[in-house]
């Protein structure tokens, strides 16, 4: 990256952080660094609006406050609490992944990108969000919209969902 490009990137990052400090919404999952709670929130937020997720998140965390309680629940119980949020594969994957985390990691959400991505339902975005938010790592959490904006800002050519564009951004 050229020095000019680096200055632009740093300026953009500073502007975004300033904006967030002023305008960022107070959301329940932003009040914690608990990897489990952030994982639940990020999973719920996949293709679902924030306003819709807030009450479901509260109920889900009240019923399943940690990995062990989620892993120990029946799938029917999990689906009942998830009911109405839609995309039920997310709930099934989260439940299955919680059981794996309990069995393989002693109930501790992995802090390793490869281990996270190996869990059912954890893709690139959720893994990046967990690593950056919960574990303070410099990992990107870019959804399709963010990739599209960045590709336009930095004039990166490529089809919106292509692997080539994902790699460049």
Q: Are residues 72 and 125 in the same domain?
A: yes
Give the mean pLDDT of 144-159.
78
The predicted model scores a pTM of: 0.88
Residue 92 and residue 168 in one domain: no
Whether 130 is in a domain gets the answer yes
**Domain boundaries, position 146:** 142-169
Is residue 128 domain-shared with residue 62, that is, in the same domain?
yes
Residue 148 banded pLDDT, cuts 50, 70, 90: confident
* pLDDT one-digit tens code per residue, 30-68: 999 999 999 999 999 999 999 999 999 999 999 999 999
> Is 76 a domain residue?
yes
In a domain, 19, yes or no: no
When pLDDT is averaged across residues 149-166 and rounded to a whole number, the result is 72
- 160: pLDDT confidence band, cut at 50, 70 and 90? low
Higher pLDDT, 71 or 158: 71
In this prediction, residue 110 carries a pLDDT of 97
SS3 for the chain is: CCHHHHHHHHHHHHHHHHHHHHHCCCCHHHHCCCHHHHHHHHHHHCCCCHHHHHHHHHHHHHHCCCHHHHHHCCHHHHHHHHCCCCCHHHHHHHHHHHHHHHHHHCCCCCCCHHHHHCCCCCCHHHHHHHHHHHCCCCCCCCCHHHHHHHHHHCCCCCCCCCHHHHHHC
Same domain for 62 and 104, yes or no, is yes
Total count of domains within the chain = 2
State yes or no: pLDDT of 4 exceeds 90: no
- With a cut of 90, say whether residue 158 has pLDDT above it: no
- Kindly state whether residues 47 and 108 are assigned to the same domain: yes
Same domain, 151 and 122: no
Claim to verify: residue 83 and residue 155 sit in the same structural domain: no
- Give pLDDT, residue 64: 98
Q: What is the mean pLDDT of the chain?
A: 92
The answer on 146 and 128 residing in a single domain is no
Predicted local confidence at residue 66, as pLDDT = 98
Task: Judge whether 59 lies within some domain.
Answer: yes
Instruction: Tell whether 104 and 159 lie within a shared domain.
Output: no
Q: Which residues are the active-site residues?
A: 42
152 belongs to a structural domain = yes
Say yes or no: 87 and 162 in one domain: no
Same domain, 82 and 33: yes
Q: Label residue 25 by pLDDT band (50, 70, 90).
A: very high
In a domain, 1, yes or no: no
Higher pLDDT, 156 or 98: 98
């Amino acid at each position: 990256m050229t020095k000019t490009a680096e200055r632009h990137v740093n300026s953009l990052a500073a502007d975004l952080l300033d904006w967030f400090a002023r305008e960022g919404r107070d959301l329940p999952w932003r009040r914690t660094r608990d990897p489990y709670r952030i994982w639940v929130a990020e999973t719920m937020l996949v293709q679902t609006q924030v306003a819709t997720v807030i009450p479901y998140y509260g109920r889900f965390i009240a019923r399943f406050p940690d990995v062990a309680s989620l892993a120990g629940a029946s799938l029917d119980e999990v689906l009942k609490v998830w009911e109405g949020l839609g995309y039920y594969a997310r709930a099934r994957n989260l439940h299955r992944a919680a059981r794996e985390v309990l069995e393989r990691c002693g109930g501790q959400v992995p802090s390793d990108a490869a281990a996270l991505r190996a869990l059912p339902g954890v893709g690139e975005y959720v893994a990046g969000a967990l690593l950056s938010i919960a574990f303070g790592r410099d990992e990107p959490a870019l959804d399709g919209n963010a990739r599209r904006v960045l590709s336009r800002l930095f004039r990166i050519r490529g089809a919106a969902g292509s692997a080539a564009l994902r790699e460049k951004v």
